[in-house]
Structure 1
Amino acid sequence: MADLDPDLLEALQMDDPTGFNKFLGLRYGEISGASVAAELAVTEDHLQPHGIVHGGIYASVVETLPSVGGTVWLGGKGYCVGVHNATDFFRPTRAGATLRAKAVPVHQGKSQQLWRVEIVNDEGKLAAAGELRVHNIYFGEGGS
């Protein structure tokens, strides 16, 4: 992370997370336009009523990592927003566990990118996986 522009880190809320990023609690490791890795310490706040990680948490990780990686890949020319999230859930996870996620691009083009994300549990088994398609929004486009 140290090689990234401090203004970009601030914009991505990675040095001092607020709002949903703070609630989610992702701790980033590798961050580049070619790969993003992060860990999530599962707390009671991440659980649905049956005591397992809520599917929305997994979907949020699938939404977040590619958005970060895609934005970094744009090299300060803009940012990315998710336009399609497809997340599958394979194994339940309970509080006290650590989830590890890694996102890699499948396609990076001028207007959109497609990233694949795998989330594994403490045993290294696939807990969830998904793909996120992001739209590249270049500064000066107005964001619409």
Structure 2
Amino acid sequence: MNARPLRPVMSVDEVNSFLDEAFPQLNGANRDYEAISITPGACVVRLHAGYRHLRPGDTVSGPALFTLADIGGYVCVLSHTGPEALSVTTNLNINFMRKATAGPIDGHCRILKLGKSLMVFDIDMRAGAGLTVAHATGTYAIPPKHVVT
């Protein structure tokens, strides 16, 4: 756990607006991926999985779930460190547990450690009856604060 208490510095609306501005290619005309809630040390993100996210067999594709995991980490780092577009993924490991079909998939993300330059997180992605369809762990690099002189 973190030595200091974690407090969000951005709201859900602020994060979603920031994603729309800084990362417009994520959703295009639709809001397929979005932040749903932000709490101290955690967030919930959602994939509205539709036809374009399916692979043969009507299964939500691995890349769509991988993106949900990555967005979960990004929302956690943004909401707890501020609107820095250049926070980047340095590691992401995913395990696919069971088939997910079209519909909402919620990623329950929590910060495991937040330091000055790195944030470690995990995310449990659940669909339908709340069953885990994938689980991931990852690390985000946080750029140093720029001092203007």
Same fold (TM over 0.5): yes
1:94 corresponds, among 94, 98, 101, to 101
Instruction: Point out 4+ residue stretches in structure 1 off by more than 6 angstroms.
Output: none
Structure 2 residue 52 is the aligned partner of structure 1 residue 45:
yes
Q: TM-score, structure 1 length as denominator? A: 0.80
The residue aligned with 1:108 is 114
Query: Measured at CA, do residues 78 and 140 of structure 1 come closer, stay the same or move farther in structure 2, by a change above 3 Å?
Result: farther
Structure 2 residue 82 is the aligned partner of structure 1 residue 81:
no
- Cα deviation code 1:83-125 (max 9, x no counterpart): 1110110111122x32111100111111101010000111111
Backbone CA RMSD of aligned residues: 3.0
* Deviation (angstroms), 1:78: 7.2
Percent identical pairs in the alignment equals 14
User: What runs of 5+ residues in structure 2 fail to find an aligned partner?
Assistant: 1-7
Distance 1:87 1:68 in 2: 18
What amino acid sits opposite 1:69 in the alignment? C
* Deviation (angstroms), 1:31: 2.1
User: What runs of 5+ residues in structure 1 fail to find an aligned partner?
Assistant: none
1:19 corresponds, among 13, 16, 25, to 25
Query: Measured at CA, do residues 105 and 56 of structure 1 come closer, stay the same or move farther in structure 2, by a change above 3 Å?
Result: same
The residue aligned with 1:120 is 126
Distance 2:66 2:31 in 1: 11
SS class of match (2:128): coil
Q: TM-score, structure 2 length as denominator? A: 0.77
Distance 1:123 1:28 in 2: 20
Contact kept, 8 Å, 1:66 with 1:103, in 2: the verdict is yes
Distance 2:37 2:145 in 1: 25
Of 70-79 and 53-62, more deviation after overlay is shown by 70-79
